Chains A and B, each alone.
Chain A
Amino acid sequence: QQQVKQSPQSLIVQKGGISIINCAYENTAFDYFPWYQQFPGKGPALLIAIRPDVSEKKEGRFTISFNKSAKQFSLHIMDSQPGDSATYFCAASTTSGTYKYIFGTGTRLKVLA
């Protein structure tokens, strides 16, 4: 019940295209869903996050879509650029009792120039 399943494992997109990464969770107590971006040799960095009281959040070219009934959320990268090439992790967290992040297994995105 604590798992967060992320897909695809890897993704290749042409420059200017849309990158879509999906995550699914089981624990309905999760109430915070962030996405992290990690470049090789660096620590993950928070990209964007959403709470379950909204269905979509947009920051620049990055959008999170959230489907509470399906227990799924996804990251959309519009107008993908070569500089977006990185590994992306979704995560889920709950503030009710335990303050733990559960991360997905990551998606390696490559944007072709």
Chain B
Amino acid sequence: NAGVTQTPKFQVLKTGQSMTLQCAQDMNHEYMSWYRQDPGMGLRLIHYSVGAGITDQGEVPNGYNVSRSTTEDFPLRLLSAAPSQTSVYFCASSPTTSGYEQYFGPGTRLTVT
């Protein structure tokens, strides 16, 4: 099992550009989530999904879109990048629909200039 994979590892965007961060898992987990990690602020939930076709907002959803067309994939879209979105982004999945025992990917470091 590859577990949770994320691409790209690093990305630099200009303000106003859009992009999609990819996340995939091969563990057949129903629950998937996206977090951003900023210094001194821990991890904050952006969006999550409890199954294909079902998504919901977390703490900091503004400026981000998600969709879940398959169990395996959960892409995160930045609609119009802003410097405030400079962060490290982690995708996670869980074997339980309640989100217990989350397994994290290696992260994507995004810089918006």
Q: Which residues of A contact B (CB under 8 A)?
A: 2, 6, 9, 32, 34, 36, 41-46, 49, 89, 93, 95, 98-106
Contact = CB atoms under 8 A, between A and B. Distances in A.
Given A43-B90, A105-B42, A100 B58 contact: yes
B44 A103 contact: yes
B27 interface: no
A100 to B, nearest CB: 6
A106 B35 CA distance: 14
Interface string B31-59: 10101000011111100101000001011
A101 B102 contact: yes
Contact of A43 (B48, B99, B106): B106
B42 A100 contact: no
20 contacts: A9-B40, A36-B104, A42-B106, A44-B43, A44-B104, A49-B101, A89-B42, A93-B99, A95-B100, A99-B31, A99-B97, A100-B59, A101-B33, A101-B43, A101-B45, A102-B45, A103-B35, A103-B43, A103-B44, A105-B40
A43 B107 contact: yes
Interface residues of B, number: 28
A51 B43 CA distance: 21
Contacts of B104: 36, 43-45
Q: Which of A44, A45, A49, A105 has the most CB of B within 10 A?
A: A44
B41 A99 contact: no
